[in-house]
Amino acid sequence: MRGYLDTLKVIALIALRNLFASRLKTLIVGGIILFGSLLVVVGTALVDSVDASMSRSVIGSVAGHIQVYSSKSKDELTVMGGMNMESPDLTPIDDFAALRRTLLGVPNVKAVVPMGLSSAIVTAGNTVDVVLERLRDLARRRLAGEDVQAAYESEKDHVRQIIKVLSADMDNVRKIQNEKAISQDDLAAAAKAASEELWAGFDRDPYPALEFLENRIAPLASDADMLFLRYLGTDGDAFAKSFDRMKIVDGTAIPRGQRGFLFSKWVYEQQVKLKTALRLDRINDGISKRSKTIARSEELQRWIKQNVTEVKEIMLQLDGQKTASFRRLLQGELGSQQSDVAKLLSEFFRVDDANFAHRYRFFYDKLAPQLELYRVRVGDMLTIKSFTRSGYVQSVKLRVYGTFVFEGLEDSHIAGELNLMDMVSFRELYGSLTPERAREVQEIKTMAGMKEVSREQAEAELFGKPDLGETAPIGRAGDEAEAVLRSLAGRQQREDRASQPYDPAQLEQGDVLNAAVIVKDPRRISRTIKDIEAAGAKAGIPLRAITWQKASGLVGQFVTMIRAVLYISVLIIFAVALVIINNALVMATLERMPEIGTLRAIGAQRRFLLGMLLVEALAVGVLFGSLGALLGAGIVGVIGAAGIPASNDILYFLFSGPRLHPSLSPANVIISLAIVLAVSAISSIYPGLLAMRVSPRQAMQSDD
């Protein structure tokens, strides 16, 4: 043993002497190794940090640790990051109670949350529709004798103001484009709406005029919003308990046992908010959060131009009193004598870097309180229509209870694209047979005198000769048929179930499309997935279980892609390093042929020479690899303290917040040093083989 140690000591001394003797080559080789080691440490630390941050985003927002769904489904489940409005085609799991019992029987499962994904397009209506609806209600109450004269006159003036705005807008369109840009029918309708003839008899009989305004004038206001909503049906209480990042922003959560709808705050701001206010918010975020300037940003300039030219949306909300208030406020702010409120608004929205902050505050402090900033308000009823799994259209009318966010992900559209709905309403929209619908079907069958017959008796029942003695009178049969039709029509029209509570036990009794599973120990996810699928097979429930990363679709694969790019970059760098290091060592070996010959002449074995070159390469690798790892650790520490800002909402989601604060783990350093040592060892093999092939005589004659 002592002999081996002495030999190793001699090899080390010779190797170190040789390294110092050829310092330039050592520095070249060491610099390459240092850069590669630094890249591995910084790169793996960043990727691991993004992976951990994104997992917090996905797991904490909607996916949970594991998603389960029926293995009979045609499509794969993707709960977020969808590229379009279509939801995956999943086969329902009929009995959630049985599914829940099965999953909770798996040792590592902590909680199970029922879910279902779908989408709908909802029409929020335009400003004219809303105003005319209010005027119709006030007119009805006035004719009924209620004291609403002041509100009635104000709303009537508002409608006439809207007609003036629409008429002026049509005139502008004809001037800018051409005379045929607006049809003669629309021009005639606008002229009739503004005529004194229409309004002269309005107080006595408002309904004919209101019908005309609703049918001919309201469609001319092109500010109706189409809301593209992706929604998640779930048990609200179980969801809030399992996803503790969820926070109610406006209103309240959906009460237990009540039907209802919660807007994602991101969707509420992006789709429901007044477009002018939304663009102001975007400009403010660009300046305050992303350090942009109006002078240099084409995007901010485009939003400003849209606000300047698109003031009609605000003008349609202004009645006589608000118009006077806006005129006074804007004249004072702008120091202008202009009386046209539309022109004042255009001038007000023509902002620059010097005055934007002041005008932004002025808008929200003075102007916004007089406007309806949101098309749908908390407490309003929202009619949602969607295609059932059978292909027909079903609708429900739900109360909007509030808005919510996931803390730390407020500005992320990926985390904010899903709205929430109670599971009972979701099942109804999806076309499942809920208890209420089952009772309705049974009532209709009873009223219609329907009965079930066997396949063998079907022909006789349908085409057999009737028994005239037992036939009901025609009049009675007609009455019964009419009653059935009335019942069917009444049920078709009765979409508003929002005020009807349901038994919370129904949440367990119906079907689900998928379910989120929260585990006790996230390190055992792979094993838990196998246990879940095995438990499902044993219980007769064909299940497919997937990780949060796969359930998040393309978003979840982003880190895998980044990691692949990093490792490919490292591979290329070290492949180049391998060639350079190998060539440097070969040149050094050839230059040292006399020395090698002398060593061979005094009895040095081939393995001694190979060991000497290997030690030299490893010494360079350890020294410069360690320096690179230390330098990389320092860079990670500096970046971690300052944080990497999320420049867009995708990075906001990946970073699980506005900044990524990467951290270093021992694995990052160990991986770096392992790669460096492997490359160094491989690089020394070929030079060592060359040295081993040289005989003492050849080596000692090389100087002749």
- Could you report the per-residue pLDDT of 516-552, keeping only the tens digit for each? 999 999 989 999 999 999 999 999 999 999 998 888 8
Say what the pLDDT of residue 125 is.
62
From CA 402, how far away is CA 672, in angstroms rounded? 50
Mean pLDDT score, 361-381? 93
The pLDDT confidence band at residue 156, using thresholds 50, 70 and 90, is: confident
The pLDDT confidence band at residue 164, using thresholds 50, 70 and 90, is: confident
Lowest mean pLDDT among 366-375, 570-579, 596-605: 596-605
Say what the pLDDT of residue 83 is.
45
What residues does 393 pair with on adjacent strands?
387
Closest CA to 388 of 418, 436, 428: 428
- Residue pLDDT, tens place only, 294-340: 999 999 999 999 999 989 889 888 888 889 999 999 999 999 999 99
Where is pLDDT greater, at 704 or 421? 421
Closest CA to 578 of 669, 668, 684: 684
Q: Where are the domains of the chain?
A: 2-57+557-700, 62-113+504-548, 117-123+238-262+382-447, 127-220, 274-373
The neighbour count for residue 404, using CB atoms within 10 Å, is 23
Give me the sign of the Cα torsion angle 106, 111, 114, 116.
negative
CB 80 within 8 A of CB 418: yes
The amino acid present at 570, given as its one-letter code, is V
Where is pLDDT greater, at 695 or 374? 374
The neighbour count for residue 363, using CB atoms within 10 Å, is 18
What is the tally of helices (H) and strands (E) in the chain?
A: 32, 12
Structure tokens at 330: 């804007």
Where is pLDDT greater, at 416 or 459? 416
Residues above pLDDT 70, as percent of the chain? 77
Say what the pLDDT of residue 468 is.
46
Lowest mean pLDDT among 156-160, 265-269, 516-520: 156-160
Where is pLDDT greater, at 40 or 453? 40
Closest CA to 668 of 697, 640, 700: 640
Structure tokens at 663: 């951290």
CB 300 within 8 A of CB 356: no
From CA 130, how far away is CA 156, in angstroms rounded? 13
The amino acid present at 314, given as its one-letter code, is I
Say what the pLDDT of residue 485 is.
43
Closest CA to 76 of 60, 95, 89: 89
Backbone angles phi, psi at 183, to 5 degrees: -70, 155
Structure tokens at 541: 């429930």
- Residue pLDDT, tens place only, 114-152: 999 988 878 766 677 778 888 888 998 988 888 888 888
The pLDDT confidence band at residue 477, using thresholds 50, 70 and 90, is: very low
From CA 427, how far away is CA 130, in angstroms rounded? 30
Evaluate if residue 596 carries a pLDDT over 70: no
Mean pLDDT score, 208-217? 87
The rounded mean pLDDT for the chain is 81
Residues above pLDDT 90, as percent of the chain? 31
Say what the pLDDT of residue 697 is.
62
Evaluate if residue 471 carries a pLDDT over 50: no
Say what the pLDDT of residue 438 is.
57
* Exposure letters 442-469 (e unless 16+ CB within 10 A, then b): eeeeeeeeeeeeeeeeeeeeeeeeeeee
Where is pLDDT greater, at 224 or 418? 418
Lowest mean pLDDT among 17-21, 51-55, 650-654: 17-21
The separation between CA 197 and the C-alpha centre of its own chain, rounded to angstroms, equals 53
Q: Please identify which residue in the block is written with the tokens 């069958």.
A: 445
Lowest mean pLDDT among 363-377, 540-554, 590-604: 590-604
CB 54 within 8 A of CB 553: no
Q: Please report how the helices 558-591 and 593-601 are oriented relative to each other, as an axis angle in degrees rounded to 10.
A: 70
Mean pLDDT score, 279-287? 94
CA dihedral 190, 196, 200, 202 (to 10 degrees): 20
Lowest mean pLDDT among 25-34, 273-282, 656-665: 25-34
Structure tokens at 153: 């006159």
Say what the pLDDT of residue 25 is.
66
List of E strands, 71-217: 109-123
CB 562 within 8 A of CB 58: no
Q: Please identify which residue in the block is written with the tokens 């694969």.
A: 557
From CA 19, how far away is CA 586, in angstroms rounded? 14
The pLDDT confidence band at residue 436, using thresholds 50, 70 and 90, is: low
Say what the pLDDT of residue 475 is.
43
In terms of Cβ atoms closer than 10 Å to its own Cβ (0-12, 13-18, 19+), residue 112 is buried
Say what the pLDDT of residue 9 is.
60
Q: How many CA atoms lie within 13 A of 472 on its CB side?
A: 8
Mean pLDDT score, 187-214? 88
From CA 206, how far away is CA 427, in angstroms rounded? 42
Where is pLDDT greater, at 564 or 368? 368
Evaluate if residue 247 carries a pLDDT over 90: yes
What is the SS3 string spanning 527-557? HHHHHHHHHHHHHCCCEEEEEHHHHCHHHHC
Evaluate if residue 167 carries a pLDDT over 80: yes
From CA 603, how far away is CA 625, in angstroms rounded? 34
From CA 146, how far away is CA 161, in angstroms rounded? 25
Evaluate if residue 195 carries a pLDDT over 50: yes
Question: DSSP letters along 617-679, please?
Answer: HHHHHHHHHHHHHHHHHHHHHHHHHH-EE--SHHHHHHTTSSEE-----HHHHHHHHHHHHHH
What residues does 402 pair with on adjacent strands?
251, 262
